[in-house]
Each structure stands twice: as structure tokens, then as C-alpha cells.
Structure 1
Amino acid sequence: MLLKEDVMIEFESPRLAMRQIAAQDWAIFYELHVNSIVIAKCFDPILPEEIEKRFEQRCKPWSFEDSDWLTLVVTNRDTGQALGLTGFCFDKGVAEVGYLFLPQYFGYGYCSESLAALLDWGSSELGIDEFQAVVTEGNIASERVLRKCGFQLAEVIPQNYCISGRLYDDHIYRLAKID
């Protein structure tokens, strides 16, 4: 099923609501890209201009046919508080998932819950049946989230990603949804 570009993407899980990122979400997007705890095992610090460029790209209308990221803000359903981001980019039949959450929300299961909801939505609404994620060696919490959602380690690419001048292995996780 293909979505029209003008359709706002929104869905929920028991505790969370996910919706497409919009201009009013700049503060959380920026914080997630500069917070040293969040980015430590993800990427090097990014210049503010680059963060702004990424934000503008992510706020554009999303289309399934594009290989751009669908970025969703994850909020607490009861309070409306933004907790983090989740989403995917779709290319060659596979959706690569990603997520970033503010440190004060680590350990509550929000990331796993939002990822499970994203996988269910992508599978039921878009017909996606193959997902993958790339995790930097040492990001144990992220690997735990992926395994909890059914992903399995499929490949390790040695010394493939550099953060702060150190080379790390990339861990490639995959999940095939079978109905």
C-alpha cells in the first residue's frame, strides 16, 4: 500500500504516539544530535549547519518511493512529552530502521515499544517485510532493543565506522516479517 505525500503519518502503541516530524520538533531533533550521551555510540559531533540541513530534509513530505528517511517523533501518549525519534529509510526492498532517545528515557522500554510499533505499521500499512539496522560495536542497549523486537545479528563488518578517531565494527541486524 502506497501513501500519498500529503498524508500525515501517525500511529500509536500502548504508551506512545508516533507522528511525522514537523517544524515544531526542532528542539528535540537538535538535542538528540548534540547530546554527548546519545551520540557517543552513533556518530561524531555534527556542526549546527549540518543538523539544520538534516532537519529540513526530514521535515519534507515523505514518500514511500523515495529513499529518504521517514522520521517520527515519539511522544508519551499521556503527557505529550517528546521522548525521541524513530523511523526508517526504504531502499531496494529493505527498510533500515533507526532511533534516538533522550537519556532520561533510557531503560523504560520506550525504544523497544516504538520500534515494535514502527515494524508493525511498516508491515501492515506499507507491506514491508524486510528490515535491517546497523549498530556500532559497543552499543549494547541498541542491540538489546533490536533482539527484543525479533532482529538477529546477520553480519559483522570489521573496522567499518569511525567515531572520535576510533574504528568500530558495524553489526548488521536483520528481520524478515512473515505473515
Structure 2
Amino acid sequence: MGFKTFETERLRLRPTNVNDAPFILELLNTPKFIKYIADRNVRTIADAKTYIEERMLPQLKRLGYANYTVIRKSDDTKLGTCGLYSREEMEGIDIGFSFLPQHEKQGYAFEAARCILDAAFNEFNIDEISAITTEENLSSQRLIKKLGLNYKDIVHLANDTEDLWRYQLKRNS
């Protein structure tokens, strides 16, 4: 089954696959990923392949969307990830993104997230999208608000006591 790839002016977004393991290993071990998202205990390329196979691909196969590797079209550099996530502990679908530090503050995250948000509403017929972030992650909050999501409430993920700020946007709002 072929899964959809998306393009913007500067970017190509394709479903993450096991060939992305070296990149995913690097991304998941950046200080900001560990601080603001979680330490996924992915320390080797083999760990990264397992993470992709067990955490990303099942949702892609089940729903047709999941985590997308964001690639700059001009030179095929992998910049980060952006995706739509179905979490057991949360109702609905949320959008998330993470970029390597050297590719931040260049508009790539907004461009990728805008593309994925449009796909959520227009390709996958999702009626409402959430985004979650920590109170301290101001850059993520700015991007979420720029995408048009509005603060809704505070939520907690399973086995985690940290307050996460949830933002939401309904289709056609």
C-alpha cells in the first residue's frame, strides 16, 4: 500500500521508514527533543529501527498517516519530522513536530506543519486537531498559535505528571 507524500515550495514530507533510522537516532537525542518531548531511550541505529517499526509504522498502516520525515527539496537534507498522532491517552488526533537545531528558525517547521494540518483536514477528513506542549516550550507554543490553534486546557499523558498545554483547531473554523 502506497502512503501519500506531500510537497511544499521547499519541502517534501514522506512517511518515516526504517531507512530513516540514522536520522531518527540523531533527532531523538537532541537536547530539545529530550527536554520538551521525552527521552525515548533510543541509543543505536538498531534502537531507532525498532522505534520506527513499533511506534510509527503501526499507526501509518492503521490510519494512513503518522510521522513524516521533512526533507529539503533543494539538497535532500532531512530537517526534522512532522506528523499526526493518535495517542491512546488522548481523544482525537494531535499534530507534532521536531527539527534538528541547525534547521530551526528558518520557517521549515511552520511550512511543514501547515502542510500536514491542511492534509489532516482535506486529505484525511479529520474534523479537529490538537497540539500539546509544555509550558516552557515557548517556540512550540508560538508555532502552534501561528497555525491557528487556540489554547483549550491542560492534559496529562499516561504515566506522566507533567502538565501539557493542549491547543485545538476545528476544520473550517
After TM superposition, the score normalised by the length of structure 2 is: 0.84
The alpha-carbon distance between structure 1 residues 113 and 47, as it changes in their structure 2 partners (threshold 3 A), is closer
- Flag the structure with higher helix content: 2
- 2:53 aligns to what? 56
- 2:106 aligns to what? 108
Question: Retained in 2: the 8 A contact 1:134–1:172?
Answer: yes
CA distance, structure 1, for counterparts of residue 167 and residue 120 of structure 2 = 17
- What amino acid is the match of 2:138? I
- What amino acid is the match of 2:3? M
Q: How does 1:81-92 map to 2 (within 5 A)?
A: 81-90=77-86
CA distance, structure 1, for counterparts of residue 42 and residue 11 of structure 2 = 31
Aligned-CA RMSD value: 2.8
- What amino acid is the match of 1:170? L
CA distance, structure 1, for counterparts of residue 70 and residue 106 of structure 2 = 13
Question: Retained in 1: the 8 A contact 2:6–2:13?
Answer: yes
Q: How does 1:154-169 map to 2 (within 5 A)?
A: 154-157=152-155, 168-169=162-163
**Residue in structure 1 matching 2:167, options 137, 155, 173:** 173
The alpha-carbon distance between structure 1 residues 59 and 139, as it changes in their structure 2 partners (threshold 3 A), is same
Percent identity of paired positions between Structure 1 and Structure 2: 24
After TM superposition, the score normalised by the length of structure 1 is: 0.81
User: Which stretch of structure 1 is more off in the superposition, 90-99 or 139-148?
Assistant: 90-99
Q: By how many angstroms is 1:9 displaced?
A: 1.6
User: Which stretch of structure 1 is more off in the superposition, 87-96 or 75-84?
Assistant: 87-96
- 3-state SS in 2 of match to 1:98: strand
**Residue in structure 2 matching 1:131, options 129, 132, 154:** 129
Q: How does 1:18-37 map to 2 (within 5 A)?
A: 18-37=13-32
Q: Which runs of 5+ in 1 are unaligned?
A: 1-5
Q: By how many angstroms is 1:43 displaced?
A: 1.3
CA distance, structure 2, for counterparts of residue 154 and residue 61 of structure 1 = 25
